[in-house]
Amino acid sequence: MKLHARSRTARPSNTRLSPLLAAALAVGLALPLSAGAADSAKPRSMQEILDATKPGDWRALDPRDTLYLDLPRGRVVIELAPEFAPQHATNIRALARNGYWNKLSINRSQDNFVVQWGDPAEDDKSRKPLGKGTKAKLPAEFERSSDKLPFHVLPDPDGWAPQVGFADGFPAARDTGAKRAWLAHCYGMVGAGRDVAADSSNGTELYVVIGQSPRQLDRNITVVGRVVQGMELLSVLPRGTGPLGFYENPAQRVPITSIRLAADVAKKDRVAIEVLRTDSAAFDEIIESRRNRRDEWYKHPAGHIDLCNVPLPTRETPAAAPAPAKGKSKSK
Amino acid sequence: MKLHARSRTARPSNTRLSPLLAAALAVGLALPLSAGAADSAKPRSMQEILDATKPGDWRALDPRDTLYLDLPRGRVVIELAPEFAPQHATNIRALARNGYWNKLSINRSQDNFVVQWGDPAEDDKSRKPLGKGTKAKLPAEFERSSDKLPFHVLPDPDGWAPQVGFADGFPAARDTGAKRAWLAHCYGMVGAGRDVAADSSNGTELYVVIGQSPRQLDRNITVVGRVVQGMELLSVLPRGTGPLGFYENPAQRVPITSIRLAADVAKKDRVAIEVLRTDSAAFDEIIESRRNRRDEWYKHPAGHIDLCNVPLPTRETPAAAPAPAKGKSKSK
């Protein structure tokens, strides 16, 4: 029996990691499980599927829907979801343009729940003004009509919603009877904090899910997007010891260098990120490869996957290129 | 509209946190949502339910099944699961008694997946000996017979298993047709890394889940217990940049001061932790309070909960007391 420590892992170690997958790993994806050539009789590994994708299987992030949250330790890239939260997206773009978050901070880190940033001022009077072109109050955008919304259905059942899958590239849920659709609180999803009133958010206080998917928040708060790169900069922040994981001592807060819309950043300073299209055949093949792991390490393939366990592969392209309009996913 | 930053959160802010709940929060539980007195017409909040528990609703951790993982920044407390992994528990107790992990390290931190510790030596020859009373190889303990195993069933369906619930205080799954039961990979669960062969683990390389529950690992690897206190010391460790989240530079590894069995630690140096019994009425009431949040912040109670979203409340008791034998949960 081999006792190499590095091979004694929760996953097999005979894994060849490509730079492409490194980005995927950053958001917690599972690993490619065989390195050999594809064999038509044998399902392909995630790595093999990704290696065989064509440029059209990927979409570039739209700079108008992309936020750069720059921290002293690096950059977090967030994709906004204007198809689900158009008014929040508009306000967030304006807030970013106004430099609203610059020099504000991350104020909360609650284990297995969320990291949250915004204005730590508790006193209304010392609160930072939101600046021009912004609204101080927005309607609840918890869900939307499912009419005219391409929805790529996941084959497996979900306990929280009648149907789950992917819409506009995000993990989502749908109720075809009520004709409503909404985004799901998976790891890395970003939402807009609010008070008790449903319409009390304005997009200034944003949180990101850092633990087990808190799906009970679905349809209760406006989800505005997701982190596509840099999750590991947020998920490791020391947990706050105050109520709800807020930092008790202001010195514990993590300063925000800036939050900018990618469209407002010089092209040479942008990160060129592509996301695998959720309406591509490659994405479906990846889902199946995760539903039933066929490598020799797994002895009992699950035959199931939960929405929030589905990987959403991303890759950095060598040179920044103008992003085309975001593609719509096909209904299924 | 009030704009207090601290009240703009993913959860309501009118929350009174008791010291008792602080421990629960450390493992990511949700929050009590009303501070008023219980009203028979109104479902009680989690805090109200916990406040009304009786001593018999709690069980003390058995020191023979409790590990203290001491790190430079504090103590992580792990409860072993000998009902599911008896041979692994036996080996782990012997390894702890031998001081096997002392001066070894945490070698892996993979975002949204696991943190793992053990012997970083890649060369068999320089590998630390396991010491007396240990076995170098153990059988797979992925599942067990469900006969004679009290199993407290969760009312909601699960996509990964025919039935889920709680057995011996742990989140578990069951197949009554096949008469098998197994532990579930929820946040904070601890497992024993292995090679490709099912029987290649020996309990030296342990990992803890730090993200979305990787339930695809269920029945594929031996789960040995769960973290009941100190998760926030593990979940925030910087992510490794090597394959599988291993630290590429040995200097990045986190030294382990020691891992000891609580029974081998002087009573004055033990942490007296109690866990809410999963066969108590209070636990069922908490589950229902989480399935349907009835406070004014929630506009759309989910009517559902996933196994890995169920809180497992713990509390520290003021003085260490001898632990009674662990109670069995009733069938339901």
Please give, rounded to a whole number of angstroms, the shortest distance from the CA of A148 to a CA of chain B.
Answer: 24
Task: Please report the sign of the dihedral spanned by the C-alpha atoms of residue A122, residue A124, residue A125, residue A128.
Answer: positive
Among B12, B28, B207, select the one facing A196 at the smallest CB separation: B12
Question: Which amino acid appears at position B195 of this protein?
Answer: D
Q: Which of A43-57, A140-154, B14-28, B37-51 shows the lowest per-residue confidence on average (mean pLDDT)? A: B14-28
A182 in a domain, yes or no?
yes
Query: In this structure, are residues A210 and A225 in contact, taking their beta carbons and an 8 Å threshold?
Result: no
Nearest Cα residue in chain B from A15: B243
| Per-residue model confidence (pLDDT) at position A331 | 39
- Give the count of beta carbons closer than 10 Å to the beta carbon of residue B52: 12
Q: Which of A38, A66, A60, A62 is nearest to A50 (CA)?
A: A38
Name residues whose C-beta falls within 8 Å of residue B48's C-beta, 6 or more positions apart in sequence: B32, B34, B37, B38
Is residue A84 domain-shared with residue A233, that is, in the same domain? yes
- Residues B260-275 have a mean pLDDT of 97
Res B132 pLDDT > 50: yes
Is A111's CB within 8 Å of B27's CB? Answer: yes
Among A10, A124, A244, select the one facing B114 at the smallest CB separation: A10
B189 in a domain, yes or no?
yes
> Chain B residues with CB inside 8 Å of A182's CB?
none
Name residues whose C-beta falls within 8 Å of residue A241's C-beta, 6 or more positions apart in sequence: A247, A248
Nearest Cα residue in chain B from A73: B238
In this prediction, the residues of chain A whose per-residue pLDDT falls under 70 are: 1-41, 122-123, 318-332
Q: Which two tokens stand for residue A102?
A: 């610059």
Is residue A265 domain-shared with residue A288, that is, in the same domain? no
* Paired sense of beta strands A189-192 and A222-229, if any: antiparallel
Query: In this structure, are residues B244 and B205 in contact, taking their beta carbons and an 8 Å threshold?
Result: no
A126 in a domain, yes or no?
no
Q: Compute the mean pLDDT over every residue in chain B, rounded to the nearest whole number.
A: 87
Please give, rounded to a whole number of angstroms, the shortest distance from the CA of A126 to a CA of chain B.
Answer: 10
Res B34 pLDDT > 90: no
Nearest Cα residue in chain B from A118: B5
| Per-residue model confidence (pLDDT) at position B27 | 32
Q: Which residue has the tokens 């009240």?
A: B7
Is A1's CB within 8 Å of B219's CB? Answer: no
A182 strand-pairing partners = A173
Q: Which of B153, B169, B151, B145 is nearest to B81 (CA)?
A: B169
Give how far Cα A116 sits from Cα of A193, A234, B249, Å. 8, 9, 31
Is residue B206 domain-shared with residue B227, that is, in the same domain? yes
Query: In this structure, are residues A229 and A271 in contact, taking their beta carbons and an 8 Å threshold?
Result: yes
Is A122's CB within 8 Å of B5's CB? Answer: yes
Among A6, A140, A216, select the one facing B302 at the smallest CB separation: A216
Please give the Cα distance from B295 to B160 (Å, whole number): 31
Go through A224-257 and write b for each residue having 16 or more CB atoms within 10 A of its CB, e for each that does not. Answer: bbbbbbbbbbbbbbebbbbbbbbbeeeebbbebb
Q: Which of B269, B297, B326 is the last residue of a domain?
A: B269
DSSP label of A168: T
Nearest Cα residue in chain B from A203: B8
| Residue of higher predicted confidence among B318 and A200 | A200
> pLDDT for B158-179, tens place per residue?
999 999 999 999 999 999 999 9
Is residue B54 domain-shared with residue B188, that is, in the same domain? no
Q: What CATH number does residue B252 fall under?
A: 2.40.100.10
Please give the Cα distance from A88 to A95 (Å, whole number): 10
Go through B267-287 and write b for each residue having 16 or more CB atoms within 10 A of its CB, e for each that does not. Answer: eeebbbbbbbbbbbebbbbbb
Q: Which residue has the tokens 């109050």?
A: A137
Q: Which two tokens stand for residue B185?
A: 């990979």
Q: Which two tokens stand for residue A282?
A: 């490659």
- Residues B227-249 have a mean pLDDT of 97
Is residue A244 domain-shared with residue A198, that is, in the same domain? yes
| Per-residue model confidence (pLDDT) at position B32 | 34
- Give the count of beta carbons closer than 10 Å to the beta carbon of residue A125: 5
B126 in a domain, yes or no?
no
- Residues B182-193 have a mean pLDDT of 98
B323 in a domain, yes or no?
no
Residue ranges making up the domain that contains A38: 5-60+272-316
Q: Which two tokens stand for residue B7?
A: 């009240």
Q: Which two tokens stand for residue B295?
A: 């406070």
Q: Which of A149-153, A165-169, B81-85, B326-330 shows the lowest per-residue confidence on average (mean pLDDT)? A: B326-330
A321 in a domain, yes or no?
no
Is A304's CB within 8 Å of B108's CB? Answer: no
Q: How confident is the model at residue B124 (pLDDT cuts 50, 70, 90)?
A: confident
Is residue B251 domain-shared with residue B155, that is, in the same domain? yes
| Per-residue model confidence (pLDDT) at position B10 | 53
Question: Reading across the β-sheet that carries B273-276, which strands appear in turn?
Answer: B58-60, B273-276, B314-316
Q: How many distinct structural domains can be found in chain A? A: 2
Q: How confident is the model at residue B319 (pLDDT cuts 50, 70, 90)?
A: low
Query: In this structure, are residues A306 and A321 in contact, taking their beta carbons and an 8 Å threshold?
Result: no
Is residue A83 domain-shared with residue A186, that is, in the same domain? yes
Name residues whose C-beta falls within 8 Å of residue A154's C-beta, 6 or more positions apart in sequence: A164, A165, A166, A287, A305, A307, A310
Is residue A155 domain-shared with residue A282, that is, in the same domain? no
What is the Cα Rg of chain A in Å? 20
Phi-psi region of B52 (alpha: psi -120 to 50; beta: other; left: phi over 0): alpha
Whole-complex ipTM: 0.87
> Chain B residues with CB inside 8 Å of A105's CB?
none
Is A220's CB within 8 Å of B121's CB? Answer: no
Nearest Cα residue in chain A from B297: A196
Is residue A222 domain-shared with residue A288, that is, in the same domain? no
Please give, rounded to a whole number of angstroms, the shortest distance from the CA of B210 to a CA of chain A.
Answer: 7
B328 in a domain, yes or no?
no
A330 in a domain, yes or no?
no
Nearest Cα residue in chain A from B186: A212
Is residue B276 domain-shared with residue B264, that is, in the same domain? no
Among A7, A28, A114, select the one facing B10 at the smallest CB separation: A114
Is residue B200 domain-shared with residue B282, that is, in the same domain? no
Is residue B282 domain-shared with residue B265, that is, in the same domain? no
Mutate which: A212, A215, A252, vs B, most B CBs within 10 A: A212
Please give, rounded to a whole number of angstroms, the shortest distance from the CA of B137 to a CA of chain A.
Answer: 8
